[in-house]
Chain A
Amino acid sequence: VGDMIDQLIAEAVDSMAPRPGFASELLIALRGRPALAISDDESRSRVRWIVASALAGAASVSIVLVALHQRGRTRRSRFDALMKRS
């Protein structure tokens, strides 16, 4: 049974040929597009995305740190004032 299944699958896959004309259309498209154009586009957009994410992350972290620092300073000055009064 196994051998027959294998053979029939091979026949079924073999019958899946591309439509006539597809090979030439794709070849023309490939010929018209230099290899580096695709990788450049992809890598540029990836780099842009990474840089933008890193900048956004750094900005968020610094905002949080500044806010925490300000809060700490306010608390400390209130504490100092209370201590002086007492």
Chain B
Amino acid sequence: MYLSAAGHDSYPEVADEALAERAAGDFDAFEELYRRYLPPIYRFVRSQVRDDATAEDITAHIFFRALASAASFRSDGSYKSWIFRIAHNSIVSWRKRSDRSKPVEEIPDHPDPDPSPALQAVARDTSGRIWGRVEQLPPAQREVVTLLYGEDLTIEETARVTRRTRGAVRILLHRARRRLRHSFEREEL
């Protein structure tokens, strides 16, 4: 559960799912969920699009949808998965509409060399530079990496959000990590 972003203590200990059940008819309950989830949802969206303005538009759309369909939330699932699923769908729709996904240059699939040069390259890298590489991953890999490492979702939750099997998520993750490792190693050479 994400902590409140602002000093809003109406529901300090109430679980997300309990709030979600009331959100359809109680705006305060929805507002508490909004405070908890705006930062992670924005971060997730921002990590998938190229600029702040688009991230803001999509984030707004996600919360309008979450509010509009609050009554459809079922308490047997987690709210976190539910709202990230809305975010995933919104990003997919945006990608289809804007057609901004650019093909990524294929990285040759060769065996891993000694990891030590890569380790040094990673150690020297800043977050900004590493993100530059993450941005070059294909959208599906970037999404999985962001959900797992950026937002601490589990493999199970990521699979639910992206409507993939756990195996498919693991494969995407493995490919993403391999691409990133190759990217560091190529820089090193």
Which residues from chain A sit less than 8 Å from chain B, CB to CB?
A: 1-2, 4-19, 22-23, 26-27, 29-31, 33, 35-39, 42
* Interface residues of A, dominant DSSP: helix
A16 touches B56 (CB 8 A): no
Chain B residue with the shortest CB-CB distance to A18:
B42
Option from A12, A30, A42 in Cβ contact (under 8 Å) with B130: A12
Q: B32 to chain A: closest CB distance in Å? A: 11
Q: Which B residues touch A33, using CB under 8 A?
A: 64, 67
**B118 close to A1 (CB less than 8 A):** yes
Residue of A nearest to B67 (CB): A35
> Do A23 and B131 have beta carbons less than 8 Å apart?
no
Assuming the contacts A1-B118, A4-B122, asked whether A17 and B43 have C-beta atoms less than 8 A apart, the reply is yes
B181–A5 touching, CB < 8 Å: yes
> Which 5 A-B pairs rank lowest in CB-CB distance, beginning with the nearest?
A13-B150, A38-B68, A12-B131, A12-B127, A9-B149
How far does the Cβ of A12 sit from chain B's closest Cβ, in whole Å?
4
Chain B neighbourhood of A12, CB < 8 A: 127-128, 130-131, 134, 150
Scoring A12, A27, A36, A39 by chain B CB atoms within 10 A of each residue's CB, the highest score goes to: A12
B52 touches A35 (CB 8 A): no
**A1 adjacent to B181 (CB under 8 Å):** yes
In the bound complex, residues from chain B placing their C-beta under 8 Å from that of A37 are 68
- Contact residue among B35, B46, B60 (Cβ-Cβ distance under 8 Å from A16): B46
Task: Determine the distance from Cα of A10 to Cα of B134 in the docked complex, in whole angstroms.
Answer: 11
For this complex, 25 residue pairs linking A to B, each with C-beta atoms less than 8 Å apart, are A1-B119, A1-B122, A2-B177, A4-B122, A4-B123, A5-B177, A9-B134, A9-B150, A11-B127, A12-B130, A13-B47, A13-B131, A17-B42, A18-B39, A18-B46, A18-B55, A18-B56, A22-B42, A22-B59, A26-B56, A30-B30, A30-B34, A30-B67, A35-B24, A39-B68
